[in-house]
Structure 1
Amino acid sequence: MSAAEREEYERLRKAAHGRHRRLRYAATSVLLLVAFLLAPLAVVAAWVDSEVSDTDRYVQTVAPIATEPSVQNTVTDRLTTRVVDSVDVAAFTDAIGRTLQREGAPPQVVQGAEALTGPLKSALTSAVHSVVNKVVTSDRFAEVWDDANRRAHAAVVKVLTGEGNSAIQAGTDSIDLNLGTLIDEVKKDLVDRGFDQASKIPDVDKTITLLETDKLNEAQDAMRLLDVVGTWLPVVVLALSALAVWSGPAHRVALMSTAIGIGIMMIVLLVGLAVMRSVYLDSVPPSALPRNAAADIYDTFIRFLRNSTVTVLVIAVITALAAFLYGPSRPSRWVRSTAAKGTGATGRAMASRGLRTGGTGRWLATHVKWTTGIAIGGGALALVLWNYPTPGAVALVLGIVVLVLIVLGVLAAASGTERRPPADSRSAPTPG
């Protein structure tokens, strides 16, 4: 092959390599963009799926609503009004007046009986409110709430999809709480307190509207769609992210980009939840639910979604930081060098005192990349297998992984043989 042919071959080879590299960058960019856009939906979909499929999780989600003072006060006021309105106090005082008139009582006495309507209704309201408040703020109310939701987990299906029956019911434009059992208990307590007429109170409306919004149908449609993809969408996002890192020309840079992008999307989701909170509170008429009660219900219901979002954000930050520390920058080299010197000094001190690890330490020193990968992989697997990990769980797993890496470094250095520091503590690795 002549020099000209070799030069032409080399030029063509470099051109093909350049095209191949550009294609890899383009493919990686597309994969990352799709993963970023799907990441918030994946978190929301996983949350919806867990609420629908996991009874314990759902009960754990809605249980605190029954203990919120704002909700208890709203339920107490509404039940009191409905019970009192079902009692015809005016008819009672009219009957007293007619009886007094038949018995020949003076007109002033008869008129006085008619004037008892207001005071009697006020006294009845006070007595009923006291009984209702005692029931609603008792453990019995929380037990009824939990039992109703546990026995009929279709409640969450009712709320999110409009299907099923339970203590929580979804109307066309509202979400209602059925308190039939508690109303019966209130009537019984009134009778026990001497209000015999309470047993004759007719059946009243046993539902309390918790939320009222003209957007419920649209929200239910969105929830149905998210429920369908709830199981697979997170898997798709993980697969796309892994494929993007694998296909990227520089794996470390692709990993860092993936973590940063997903972290940014989690921040966007948190902002979206805050905006939705404001939109929801503005859409609830004050006549339907006090603003503070509506805020407590919203915050309680989405708290696990918010926690999941923060958890993914923390994982993304840790991943991006780890990818950065593996890089060629001066701060990264300093951190790696300092860590290697610390574990090395500790291991050599152990060896000088007779605590040598011998062949095991030498094996660990020889297979640093393998042991490091296994430790990090084990931490990642623990988070995958952890049911509903929290930021605290992520911090715990991270602490354990770091501790394991430190112990492995010390054991490797305590083999009793001198070994040179790892290459990446003396010079920067090739990016990627």
Structure 2
Amino acid sequence: MARQASGGRSFLSLLCGLLAVVLLPVALVGFWASVLLTRTDVFVQELQPVVAKPQVQQALADGVVNGVLSAVQLQPAIEKALEVPLRTEATQLVASPQVATAWTSALRAVHTQFIAVMQGRGSTELDDQGRVAMRVAIPIPALTSTLEQAGVPNAAAIAPVVTIPLVKASDLQTAQRAYRVADAWGPWAPVVVAVLALLSIALARRWRTATTLVALGWIAASAALALVVMVAREPLMRRVGQQVARTVADAAYGLAARNLYYEIAIAVGVAVVMLVVSAVSLAFGRRQR
């Protein structure tokens, strides 16, 4: 009976340790998603710096120029001559505080709408291709004089809107399921993993061995997650169709990856502490004997 009980405890220890290692990447991603995707203030705070990136500003400048030229009725030769000064001024415009404010307002609006849709409390607006899109209305007072000189009537009333598609409407159901899981279990996922690791150590006949194995498993799982985050960037960006959306998505992915790397670093740090505790305990025990 004692051997059966000991064998049962060893099996449970092994099972808990294996689950603690396998579920660690899932817990890190779930916790990140629960913080970034379900809290508007955090979402806005994290994506505010994206508008300051040069590639994003260039994409927004392209959107401003295209939006202005599509809103005016000019001869092709005049539009072509007007494009160069417009692009020069638009490049300066998108780096202004006014555009940063418009970007922040658009982020807050789209995330508030996203939360309502994910929770089934509202409907979302779609673009002409059936995609959920973020719309950034950019004020262009600096371009008014240039447009007036080109003979554009009511130049002051022109306000180009840069549209950034986020997700296809057909993918909303999948996004809703992922949102519910992240919202319900994301904050608790690291706690579950920690409890499994403690159970594995507590049930093991040799707690130092169990601690070492769990710690090494966490380091390996963290390294694998970091590798996936790095490798997945290019394939995911290729799936984003529009250039402006791809540029913004790439910058946003970089910020999201940075936060995941922070979580990975914390997990590795905890694993290193576990290894140190196990090694020090072993050395102290040998000295006592």
Q: TM-score, normalised by structure 2?
A: 0.82
Q: What number of residue pairs does the alignment pair up?
A: 285
Greater mean alpha carbon deviation, residues 48-57 or residues 74-83: 48-57
**1:129, CA displacement in angstroms?**
1.7
- Is it true that 1:324 corresponds to 2:276 in the alignment? no
The equivalent residue for 2:53 is 68
For 2:182, the equivalent position in structure 1 comes to 226
Q: Does 1:426 align with 2:280?
A: no
The yes-or-no answer on 1:296 pairing with 2:251 is yes
Please show how residues 44-59 of structure 1 align to structure 2 within 5 Å.
44-59=29-44
CA distance, structure 1, for counterparts of residue 206 and residue 152 of structure 2 = 81
Answer yes or no: is 1:19 the counterpart of 2:4: yes
Question: Which of 112, 133, 139 is matched with 1:176 structurally?
Answer: 133
SS at match of 2:205: coil
CA 1:40–1:60 in 2, change beyond 3 Å: closer, same or farther? same
Task: Give the one of 134, 154, 179 matched to 2:112.
Answer: 154
**Paired residues for 1:301-320 under 5 Å:** 301-320=256-275
Q: Within 5 A, what are the aligned runs for 1:166-205?
A: 176-180=133-137, 182=138, 185-186=139-140, 188-193=141-146, 195=148, 197=152, 199-200=154-155
SS at match of 2:99: helix
Change (3 A) 1:222 1:311: same
Q: Give, in whole Å, the separation in 1 of the partners of 2:253 and 2:176.
A: 16
Summarize the alignment of residues 336-351 of structure 1 with structure 2, pairs less than 5 Å apart.
none
Q: Separation in 1 of the partners of 2:97 and 2:123?
A: 24
**Would you say the 8 A contact 2:61–2:87 is kept in 1?**
yes
Q: How far apart are residue 301 of structure 1 and its match?
A: 3.1
- The amino acid across from 1:238 in the alignment is A
Show the counterpart of 1:414. Answer: none
Q: 1:281-318 CA distances to partner (integer Å, 9 max, x unpaired)?
A: 23223x54486654333212332122212221222122
| Distance in structure 1 (CA, Å) of the matches to 2:59 and 2:158 | 20
Which residue of structure 2 lines up, in the alignment, with residue 144 of structure 1? 102
SS in structure 2 at match of 1:249: coil
Task: Give secondary structure in 1 for the equivalent of 2:154.
Answer: helix
Partner of 2:66: 81
The one-letter code matched in structure 2 to 1:44 is V
From 210, 213, 235, the counterpart of 1:254? 210
Q: 1:129 to 1:175 in 2, by over 3 A?
A: farther
CA distance in 2, matches of 1:200, 1:70: 27
**Deviation, structure 1 residue 38:** 1.8
SS state of the match for residue 197, structure 1? coil
Query: Judging changes above 3 Å, is the alpha-carbon distance between structure 1 residues 124 and 134 closer, same or farther for their aligned structure 2 residues?
Result: same
Aligned CA distance change for structure 1 residues 214 and 282 (closer, same or farther; 3 Å):
farther
Instruction: Report the Cα distance in structure 2 between the residues aligned to 1:235 and 1:210, rounded to whole angstroms.
Output: 35
Shift of 1:279: 2.0
| Cα RMSD after superposing both structures | 3.4
Structure 1 spans left out of the alignment, 5+ residues: 1-15, 91-116, 328-332, 337-423
Name structure 2 gaps, 5 residues minimum: none
Q: TM-score, normalised to structure 1's length?
A: 0.57
CA distance 1:273–1:174, shift in 2 (3 Å): farther
Residue of structure 1 in register with 2:18 after alignment? 33
Asked which structure has the greater RCO (Cα within 8 Å, sep 6+), the reply is 2
Q: Is the 8 A contact 2:147 2:155 kept in 1?
A: no
Q: Please give the alpha-carbon distance, in whole angstroms, between the structure 1 residues aligned to 2:245 and 2:187.
A: 36
| Equivalent AA in structure 2 for residue 177 of structure 1 | M
CA deviations 1:353-388 (Å, max 9, x no partner) are: xxxxxxxxxxxxxxxxxxxxxxxxxxxxxxxxxxxx
Q: Is the 8 A contact 2:67 2:162 kept in 1?
A: no
Kindly indicate whether the alpha-carbon contact (under 8 Å) linking 2:16 and 2:196 is maintained by their aligned counterparts in 1: yes
- Judged with a 3 Å threshold, the aligned counterparts in structure 2 of structure 1 residues 161 and 264 are, in CA distance, closer, same or farther, namely farther
CA contact (8 A) 2:29 2:260 kept: yes
2:90–2:143 Cα contact (<8 Å) kept: no
What secondary structure is seen at the aligned counterpart in 1 of 2:187?
coil
Contact 2:34-2:187 within 8 A present in 1 as well: yes
In the alignment, the residues of structure 2 paired with residue 267 and residue 163 of structure 1 have an alpha-carbon distance, to the nearest angstrom, of 39
Are 1:281 and 2:281 counterparts? Answer: no
- Measured in 2, the distance between the counterparts of 1:318 and 1:29 equals 21
Per-residue CA distance 1:2-38 (angstroms, 9 max, x = gap) = xxxxxxxxxxxxxx32222211110111111222222
Paired with 1:49 and 1:59, the residues of 2 have a C-alpha distance of: 14
Name the structure 1 match of 2:161.
206
Aligned partners of 2:24, 2:123: CA distance in 1, in Å? Answer: 32
Distance 1:24 1:45, change over 3 A: same
How does 1:341-380 map onto structure 2 within 5 Å? Answer: none
